[in-house]
Amino acid sequence: MPEFLELLTPDVAIDKFLQYLKDVNLKVEKNKTQNCLNRVLAKNIVSKDDIPAFTRSTVDGFAVRSKDTFGSSDVMPAFFEIIGEIKMGKPANFQLSTGQACLIHTGGMLPDEADSVVMVEHTQYSNSGEIEVYKAISSGENVILKGEDIQQGDQVLTSGTLIRASEIGALMALGITEIDIYELPRIGIISTGDEVITPDEFPDLGQVRDINSYSLSAIVEKLGGIPRTYPIVKDEREQLMDMLKKAFNENDLLIVTAGSSASVRDLTADVINELGTPGVLVHGINVRPGKPTILAFANGKPIIGLPGNPVSAFVIAHLILGKIMHVLRGEIKQFSYQSFKALTTINVASVAGREDWVPVKLLDIEKDGMKLVEPIFYKSNLIFSLLTAIGLARIEPDVTGLEAFSEVEVFII
């Protein structure tokens, strides 16, 4: 019986994989800015304008020369002549002289010579054409200066930036209604095994419905990829080779489930090596669940071989895809699962040197101000054991088990 090539820690295995992923050729497309939420920018954005394009008020009040307010107080107000009102959306066709002011609204353009705005709350009309100002203000108070947000020539967004609502708003402020973005990575998913049938079929004894194609598709979609499932492949070399070649050519990443353990009937590693060079990089990760995982790279494309057991495939897919999908999307920042610290309610066994990922459910009680989680003990082919899980608790490889009420970090799934 063949053995695993080498058992690597998850971090070492994924780092080895990432070294090759850096050379992946990403495709670029144009799209309307308004349609690019959660997509990744493919070109730097440089502003052609000053934002704001003019000095504007941040309050309702009166545009003034700040030096004319010096010494103003409740007992000794300053008097200003009102020479007009600045209309919204119109240029300020006024020029202030000593002791003059203009009525201005939030967002209105400051007239020439004005350098600040006194809030309406600090003023009072003394007659129809004059106000009293009860507070001294400094230059630049209650205004945004021209170019204070962004100046012409500034690089405002960098290639690899995830487009959020704020980025869309910023791009629209610059009048950029179309941008270059990276195409979403296409992820081919193949389930293998003589015993595997489609979910709409009724299983005979010894058969199981395909779970992995669908749970993995959901994970891929959550992480920003486009999943594509293929017909189930039996444990037959020629059929497996034909399907892997087809999916390999049609996608940016290929995921194959089952056929990765050290067994005379497991063909995946051999077939992957025939798809291109360098072939299998990692065959075996020192982690539970998911020890027989394969990481490979062939002719510029990554391939992942996952265990067939649904829980193992589910856990390892989160672990690996969460670390690599940002590269395939062209994103600078790695996806980060939300996590929280909690205490385990019972002892959890572990083996030194192996990283364990344990599903846990959240309890409605706390201890010493910390949340309590209860480990879910399962067998790796029992997918329903995950239904009550809020996340996965990571047990470090240098830990030989956890005692009850030990602190763990829980990654939400």
Residue 1 has pLDDT above 50, yes or no: no
The reported pTM is: 0.80
> What pLDDT score was predicted for residue 119?
96
- 408 neighbors 393 (Cβ within 8 angstroms): yes
CA distance 149 to 378: 55
> What pLDDT score was predicted for residue 179?
97
CA distances from 326 to 184, 225, 333, 345, 371 (A): 10, 10, 7, 35, 31
Instruction: Residue 298: count other Cβ atoms within 10 Å of its Cβ.
Output: 20
**Radius of gyration, CA atoms only, the chain:** 31
pLDDT in tens, 270-280: 999 999 999 99
pLDDT in tens, 244-292: 999 999 999 999 998 655 554 568 889 999 999 999 999 999 988 888 9
Which amino acid would we find at residue 354?
Answer: R
Segment 57-78 mean pLDDT: 95
H or E segment and range at residue 229: strand 226-229
Residue with tokens 């209604």: 177
Residue 195 has pLDDT above 80, yes or no: yes
- DSSP code, position 265: T
Which amino acid would we find at residue 63?
Answer: A
Residue 6 has pLDDT above 80, yes or no: no
22 — pLDDT class (breaks 50, 70, 90): confident
Residue 60 has pLDDT above 90, yes or no: yes
309 CB-near residues (< 8 Å, 6+ apart) = 289, 380, 381
Is the Cα dihedral 31, 32, 35, 36 positive or negative?
Answer: positive
Q: What is the average pLDDT value for the chain, to the nearest integer?
A: 91
H or E segment and range at residue 288: strand 287-288
pLDDT in tens, 137-188: 999 999 999 988 889 999 999 999 999 999 999 999 899 999 999 999 999 9
Q: How far is CA 17 from the centre of its chain?
A: 21
User: In terms of DSSP bridges, do strands 278-283 and 287-288 run parallel, antiparallel, or are they unpaired?
Assistant: unpaired
Segment 183-196 mean pLDDT: 95
Residue 380 has pLDDT above 60, yes or no: no
CA distance 240 to 236: 6
Segment 20-48 mean pLDDT: 94
Residue 262, judged by CB atoms within 10 A of its CB (0-12, 13-18, 19+), counts as: middle
303 — pLDDT class (breaks 50, 70, 90): very high
Residue with tokens 């019972």: 346
The full set of domains in the chain, from first to last, is 10-27+184-329 (3.40.980.10), 28-51+149-182 (3.90.105.10), 56-144 (2.170.190.11), 339-412 (2.40.340.10)
Residue 242 vs residue 51, higher pLDDT: 242
351 — pLDDT class (breaks 50, 70, 90): confident
